[in-house]
Structure 1
Amino acid sequence: MAREECKALLDALNKAIACYHHLVLTVGSSADSQNLREELQNTRQKAQGLAVATRARLTAVLRDRDLGAEERAEFERLWVAFSGCLELLEVDMQRALALGAAFPLYVPRRPLVHTGVAARTFSARSLRHEVDRDFEVADLRELEHEILQVREMISDMEMKVNVPRWTVQARQAAGAEVLASAGASSAGGVSVPEHTGPCDPNKALAATIFGAVLLAAVALAVCVAKLS
Structure 2
Amino acid sequence: MAREECKALLDALNKTTACYHHLVLTVGGSADSQNLREELQKTRQKAQELAVAIRAQLTAALRDRGLGAEERAEFERLWVAFSGCLDLLEADMRRALALGTAFPLHAPRRPLVRTGVAGGSAGVAARALSARSLRHEAERDFDVDDLRELEREILQVSEMVNDMEMKVNVPRWTVQARQTAGAELLSSVGASSVGVVSVQERTGPCDVSKALAATVFSAVLLAAVALAICVAKLS
Same fold (TM over 0.5): yes
In structure 1, the residue matched to 2:28 is 28
Q: Tell me, in whole angstroms, the C-alpha distance in 2 between the residues paired with 1:185 and 1:67.
A: 41
Amino acid of the structure 2 residue aligned with 1:134: D
Segments of 5+ residues of structure 1 without an aligned counterpart are: 190-228
Q: Does 1:163 find its partner at 2:163?
A: no
Q: Bigger shift: 33-42 or 2-11?
A: 2-11
Given candidates 166, 183, 187, the residue that maps to 1:176 is 183
Q: Tell me, in whole angstroms, the C-alpha distance in 1 between the residues paired with 2:68 and 2:118.
A: 76
Q: Tell me, in whole angstroms, the C-alpha distance in 1 between the residues paired with 2:105 and 2:15.
A: 27
Amino acid of the structure 2 residue aligned with 1:137: V
Amino acid of the structure 2 residue aligned with 1:84: G
In structure 2, the residue matched to 1:67 is 67
Deviation at 1:121, TM superposition (A): 8.3
Q: Tell me, in whole angstroms, the C-alpha distance in 1 between the residues paired with 2:110 and 2:129.
A: 8
Q: Tell me, in whole angstroms, the C-alpha distance in 2 between the residues paired with 1:3 and 1:184.
A: 31
Deviation at 1:188, TM superposition (A): 6.5
Given candidates 139, 152, 155, the residue that maps to 1:132 is 139
In structure 2, the residue matched to 1:204 is none
Amino acid of the structure 2 residue aligned with 1:74: E
Deviation at 1:42, TM superposition (A): 0.3
Amino acid of the structure 1 residue aligned with 2:32: D
Q: Bigger shift: 177-186 or 23-32?
A: 177-186
Corresponding residue pairs, total: 189
Deviation at 1:184, TM superposition (A): 4.0
Cα offsets for 1:123-164 (capped at 9, x unmatched): 432221110000010000000000000000000000111001
Q: Tell me, in whole angstroms, the C-alpha distance in 1 between the residues paired with 2:56 and 2:173.
A: 23
In structure 1, the residue matched to 2:40 is 40
- Using the size of structure 2 for normalisation, the TM-score is 0.74
Alignment of 1:1-228 (within 5 A): 1-109=1-109, 113-115=117-119, 120=127, 123-184=130-191, 187=194
Q: Tell me, in whole angstroms, the C-alpha distance in 2 between the residues paired with 1:56 and 1:7.
A: 13
- Is the contact made by 1:9 and 1:54 (CA closer than 8 Å) also made in structure 2? yes
Cα offsets for 1:98-123 (capped at 9, x unmatched): 00010001123476645569x73884
Report % sequence identity.
82
Deviation at 1:186, TM superposition (A): 5.4
Q: Tell me, in whole angstroms, the C-alpha distance in 2 between the residues paired with 1:23 and 1:179.
A: 32
User: After TM superposition, where is structure 1 displaced by more than 6 Å over at least 4 residues in a row?
Assistant: none
Segments of 5+ residues of structure 2 without an aligned counterpart are: 197-235
> Which has the higher Rg, Structure 1 or Structure 2?
2
Q: Bigger shift: 72-81 or 106-115?
A: 106-115
Q: Bigger shift: 85-94 or 102-111?
A: 102-111
- Is the contact made by 1:28 and 1:103 (CA closer than 8 Å) also made in structure 2? yes
Amino acid of the structure 2 residue aligned with 1:143: L
- Is the contact made by 1:108 and 1:126 (CA closer than 8 Å) also made in structure 2? no
- Using the size of structure 1 for normalisation, the TM-score is 0.76
Q: Tell me, in whole angstroms, the C-alpha distance in 2 between the residues paired with 1:114 and 1:130.
A: 22
- Structure 1 pair 121–149 and aligned structure 2 pair: CA distance change class (3 A): closer
Q: Tell me, in whole angstroms, the C-alpha distance in 2 between the residues paired with 1:124 and 1:136.
A: 19
Amino acid of the structure 2 residue aligned with 1:6: C
Q: Tell me, in whole angstroms, the C-alpha distance in 2 between the residues paired with 1:84 and 1:185.
A: 32
